[in-house]
Every structure is written in structure tokens, then in C-alpha cells.
Amino acid sequence: MDFDHPPLDPVPVCEQWFAEAWERSGLPNPNAMMLATVSPSGAPSARTVLLKGFDARGAVFYTNSESRKGGELLATGRAALLFHWDAMGRQLRIEGAVSRVSDEESDAYFASRRRESRLGAWASQQSRPCGSRSELESAYRDQEVRFEGEDVSRPPHWFGFRVALEHLEFWRDGDARLHDRVVYDRGDNGDWSVQRLWP
Ligand SMILES: Cc1cc2nc3c(=O)[nH]c(=O)nc-3n(C[C@H](O)[C@H](O)[C@H](O)COP(=O)(O)O)c2cc1C
């Protein structure tokens, strides 16, 4: 990424940064990102999720739609994502409207997960009060019995969300806090405008 002459299209730069994070960030989960949502009354919240898909349409993660984040995403339709690859001195921010990925896409990703994780998706009432560890384990065992000898289908409340690429920011660590920042905004016609920002 040339911060003085940024390319017209930021999507290939994101893809390159993701690839380099897998190759040399040294992190066990270089696809971990912070997901920020906001409640209908304007209260923000943030948590980590894993990036599971990326292209010009947006950044995809999977979750239980009945969780706190799921409720906020469905209510407001907006999210912000943040990656920080410390060892590489890089930060990437993505903001945009949120949509539900197709059932076919969610099914395909769900089918790729190990059986235990698929059972866990059924067992967890994500973000609701849980009495004890044994209540959680017993809910998991119930699902093991329910699906014994069968394929574990995707729960209807478990699916992917895609955050559209509307506003992106690339940040690179610089000496003496003289960092490089470039922001991209996508206009209604799909074209990108790009600007350098003061650190
Ligand atoms: C490294 C890491 C990766 C995670 N990935 C996911 C994920 O992809 N999807 C998810 O629903 N929760 C994931 N979690 C758990 C969330 O951070 C969070 O605890 C959970 O989704 C409930 O959030 P909520 O109550 O705000 O909805 C991950 C946590 C960590 C630490």
C-alpha cells in the first residue's frame, strides 16, 4: 500500500493485508476482528468475532442472531469492524450497512464446521443468562442425543452477516507517532473516493 498514491480500489489492498496477516502476524487468529454495534437507543457495544468471508460485497462473520449483537444488527442494520495486527503495525477499519448472507452461503459454511461446533450452535442460547457450567454441558448433551446418527443441520437463528464496504480506513504505524492513514468512501454510484488523513 502506497499511502501517498493509494490505489483507486481498496478491496485488493484488504485482501493483501488479510493474506499477509495469515502469513506473518504470528497471531493464532489473524482473522479476529472487533465488531461494534449500537442499540436502538444509541448505546455502543463491542466484541470479537472471526472474519469468514471477504470480497467487494463486504466482510462476513457468523453468529447466533438471537444474541445481543444479533438483535442490535437486525434492529439498526449497521456495524463497524476493526482489525489490529500489532506486530505488523497495521490497523484496518470497516464501516457499513449490514445484511444477512444467503441461506445457501450460511449452510455451506455451517457444514464446514466440526460436528462439535455445530452441536454447540444448537446448544447455546447465546447472550442469555446461563445458570451454571453443568446447565451448558447438559444442553450440549441433549443435542448430541437429538442428532445421534444424523447430520447436524444449521439452526435457523444461526447465520452470517455481511458488513458492506462503505467506509474503510488503512492505518500504518509510523515513527514518532507520524502514522499513515488513508480513508476510502464508496459513493452511491459505487465509485471510491480516497483521502489521506492526519494521524
Ligand atoms: C477470538 C474470538 C473469536 C470469536 N468469534 C466469534 C464468532 O465468530 N461469532 C460469535 O458469535 N462469537 C464469537 N466470539 C465470542 C464473542 O466475542 C461474544 O462473546 C459472543 O458472540 C456474544 O456476544 P454478544 O453478547 O455481544 O452478542 C469470539 C470470541 C473470541 C475471543
Does residue 6 belong to any structural domain of this protein? no
Ligand 1 pocket list (CB less than 6 A): 29, 32, 45, 47-50, 61-64, 67-69, 126-127
Residue-level pLDDT at 160: 98
Residue-level pLDDT at 35: 99
Does residue 96 belong to any structural domain of this protein? yes
Does residue 108 belong to any structural domain of this protein? yes
Residue-level pLDDT at 73: 98
Residue-level pLDDT at 141: 98
Does residue 124 belong to any structural domain of this protein? no
* pLDDT grade for 194, boundaries at 50, 70 and 90: very high
Catalytic residue among 177, 181, 186, 196: 177
**CA dist., res. 147 & res. 138, Å (int):** 14
Does residue 135 belong to any structural domain of this protein? no
- What CATH code is carried by the domain that includes residue 35? 2.30.110.10
More confident residue, 1 or 151: 151
Residue-level pLDDT at 90: 98
For residue 28, report the distance from its CA to the centre of ligand 1, in Å.
15
Domain of residue 89 covers 11-112+156-197
Q: Ligand 1, closest atom to CA 68?
A: 27
Range 14-18, long-range pairs (CB < 8 A, 24+ positions): 14/54, 14/92, 14/165, 14/168, 15/54, 17/83, 17/85, 17/90, 17/92, 17/170, 18/51, 18/54
For residue 1, report the distance from its CA to the centre of ligand 1, in Å.
30
Q: How do residues 31-62 score in pLDDT, each as one tens digit? A: 999 999 999 999 999 999 999 999 999 999 99
Residue-level pLDDT at 188: 92
Residue-level pLDDT at 146: 98
The count of domains in the chain is 1
Q: How do residues 144-181 score in pLDDT, each as one tens digit? A: 999 999 999 999 999 999 999 999 999 999 999 999 99
Q: Which residue is closest in CA terms to ligand 1's atom 12? A: 49
Q: How do residues 92-128 score in pLDDT, each as one tens digit? A: 999 999 999 999 999 999 999 999 999 999 999 999 9
